[in-house]
């Protein structure tokens, strides 16, 4: 397995929403800000939408990594790319035309990501890898922060890694859910190279130091 530089995307789902601009300033060493958009339909939680994402865009120079846990992703996802997000990820389970949607996101200037729930197999989607810039494998059931990492997803991460290594263009392999100082090593060893961490970062006294520590832990395991 070739060395891959791990990237950390702290999830603001675990941040203090009343002080969001200040919280963003505490993760200046992050590679991107992970923003979870939930609609209380695709997942049983409601978080934020496009107006808040637009405000976050004005509040930070860090790249925005938008994770849409919403129904009718084909309709709503392009708007987040048009708002200035560098990466927009939709769920395969919520898209009627994922290839067309991925192309629309790229045309709007964003990297196109596709997410899979823990029980959704990766194999049916391997043929569309050339349309994507990132594949997100959920390591918890989407909808809530603070859940425990599901080791049952590790074999899927390994299978995805083999497929991505054989792709014509480089793709990022992101994991989201239960990532902390212990589980990040298992995920990195399995082949993930982009890590979403919420409470492990914003629950720390120094979130920026937590980002650095997680990145170093992943690098030890993967390289």
Binding residues: 11, 34, 36, 67, 143-146, 176-178, 198-199
Instruction: Point out the annotated binding site for substrate.
Output: 11, 67, 143-146, 176-178, 198-199
Of 31, 39, 65, 176, which is the active-site residue? Answer: 176
Choose, from 31, 36, 65, 133, the residue flagged as catalytic. 36
What are the φ and ψ backbone dihedral angles of 96, each rounded to 5 degrees? -80, -25
Binding positions for a divalent metal cation are: 34, 36, 67, 176
What 3-state class would DSSP assign to 40?
Answer: coil
Could you give the C-alpha distances from 136 to 60, 61, 131, 157, 172, in angstroms and in order? Answer: 23, 23, 14, 10, 8
171 and 132 Cβ atoms separated by less than 8 Å: yes
**3-class state of residue 216 by DSSP:** helix
**Distance between CA atoms of residues 108 and 126, nearest Å:** 23
- Let me know if 193 is a catalytic residue: no
Question: Do residues 103 and 114 lie in contact, with contact meaning Cβ atoms separated by under 8 Å?
Answer: no
206 annotated active-site? no
- What residues are labeled active site? 36, 176
């Amino acid at each position: 397995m070739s060395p891959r530089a791990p990237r950390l995307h702290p999830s603001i789902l675990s941040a203090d929403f009343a002080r969001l601009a200040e919280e963003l300033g505490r993760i200046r060493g992050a590679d991107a800000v992970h923003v979870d958009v939930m609609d209380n339909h695709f997942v049983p939680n409601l978080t934020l939408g496009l107006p808040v994402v637009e405000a976050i865009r004005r509040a930070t120079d860090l790249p925005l990594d938008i994770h849409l846990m919403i129904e009718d992703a084909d309709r709503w996802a392009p708007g987040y790319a048009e708002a200035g997000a560098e990466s927009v990820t939709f769920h395969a389970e919520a898209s009627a035309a994922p290839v067309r949607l991925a192309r629309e996101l790229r045309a709007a200037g964003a990297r196109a990501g596709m997410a899979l729930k823990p029980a959704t197999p990766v194999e049916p989607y391997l043929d569309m890898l050339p349309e994507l810039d990132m594949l997100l494998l959920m390591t918890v059931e989407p909808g809530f922060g603070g859940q425990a990492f599901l080791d049952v997803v590790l074999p899927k991460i390994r299978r995805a890694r083999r497929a991505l290594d054989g792709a014509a263009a480089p793709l990022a392999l992101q994991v989201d859910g239960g990532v902390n100082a212990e589980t990040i090593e298992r995920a990195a060893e399995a082949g993930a190279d982009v890590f979403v961490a919420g409470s492990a970062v914003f629950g720390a006294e120094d979130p920026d130091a937590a980002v650095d520590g997680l990145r170093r832990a992943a690098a030890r395991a993967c390289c």
